[in-house]
Amino acid sequence: MSDPLLRVAGLRVAFGPREVLRGVEFALAAGESVALLGPNGSGKSTCLNAISGLTAIACGDVEVAGVRTSGWPVHRVVRHGVVQVSQSRDLFPDLSVEDNLRLGGHTRSAAEIESRFPEIYALFPRLDEQRRQVVRTLSGGEQQMVAIGRALMSRPRLLLLDEPSGGLSPQLVAETARTMTALRDRGVTMLLVEQNLGLALKAADRYLILRDGEVAEGGAVSALAGSYDDIVRAIYL
């Protein structure tokens, strides 16, 4: 990869004496969708948080579009086009769907924000019907759509998604899979953390497996030929 959109090199993160990431290395090309896999507690969220600036790194480099972003505060990383949808979703429960979406565009002009709505509502028709509904009254799946829609408002160069299917019913997981695939088809560059392997591998071009604080293996999803057995073994055994 000559000119990656995201380059992570020698990334180390420790919480007190505990080193969670110890030399994570990988790169994403523009337009690529990559699933970051690994067992619970292996450091997947920590890795996303380190890229978005939410978690301080002990050493290593994060580069986005050729610019070193490690060490930057979160708002500057966001301005540079890296947007994270976190596990907890962080919505404003007492604001409407549309106001929550609007806040996602805060790095853009008012006119640009308004111009983004049609695309977001095309991706999530249900939100179109619920524009004025207060977010706290939405279902979990609908709130998740708002969180992804909000992240897309700023036209991110890189979207970091942490467990988009977390806590959703099988039907909504299927809907999330369709959303992820649609995003990939639109060329959104994504780093996707997902426990649901079926969803992750449907939406990703490539996978990486975190083990013992490092990227232990990775490969093209197409090379798996539809079988998850090897990958389940690689993650959990």
Q: Which residues bind ligand ATP (CB under 6 A)?
A: 15, 20, 38, 40-46
Residue 42's binding partner out of ligand ATP, Mg ion, none, with CB under 5 to 8 Å set by partner kind: ligand ATP
182 vs 59: CA distance, rounded Å: 35
Of the two residues 120 and 215, which places its CB atom closer to ligand ATP in the complex? Answer: 215
For residue 65, the minimal CB distance to ligand ATP (Å) is 25
Residue 20's binding partner out of ligand ATP, Mg ion, none, with CB under 5 to 8 Å set by partner kind: ligand ATP
Structure tokens at 151: 């992240």
113 vs 37: CA distance, rounded Å: 33
Instruction: Tally DSSP H helices, then E strands, for the chain.
Output: 9, 10
**Dihedral-angle region of residue 226 (phi above 0 means left; psi in -120 to 50 means alpha; beta otherwise):** left
100 vs 77: CA distance, rounded Å: 20
Residue 171's binding partner out of Mg ion, ligand ATP, none, with CB under 5 to 8 Å set by partner kind: none
Residue 227's binding partner out of ligand ATP, Mg ion, none, with CB under 5 to 8 Å set by partner kind: none
For residue 25, the minimal CB distance to Mg ion (Å) is 20
Residue 228's binding partner out of ligand ATP, Mg ion, none, with CB under 5 to 8 Å set by partner kind: none
Of the two residues 105 and 213, which places its CB atom closer to ligand ATP in the complex? Answer: 213
For residue 31, the minimal CB distance to ligand ATP (Å) is 25
Of the two residues 98 and 194, which places its CB atom closer to Mg ion in the complex? Answer: 194
Q: Return the SS3 of 171.
A: helix
Instruction: Please state, in angstroms and as integers, the Cα–Cα distance from residue 163 to each residue in 23, 32, 137, 174, 206, following that order.
Output: 23, 18, 21, 14, 17
Of the two residues 55 and 107, which places its CB atom closer to ligand ATP in the complex? Answer: 55
* 12 beta partners: 22, 59
Which DSSP string corresponds to 43-84?
Answer: SHHHHHHHHHTSS--SEEEEEETTEE-TT--HHHHHHTTEEE
For residue 194, the minimal CB distance to Mg ion (Å) is 10
For residue 136, the minimal CB distance to ligand ATP (Å) is 24
Question: Binding string to Mg ion for residues 22 to 61, with x set by CB under 5 A, is what?
Answer: -----------------------x----------------
User: Which residues form the interface with Mg ion (CB under 5 A)?
Assistant: 45
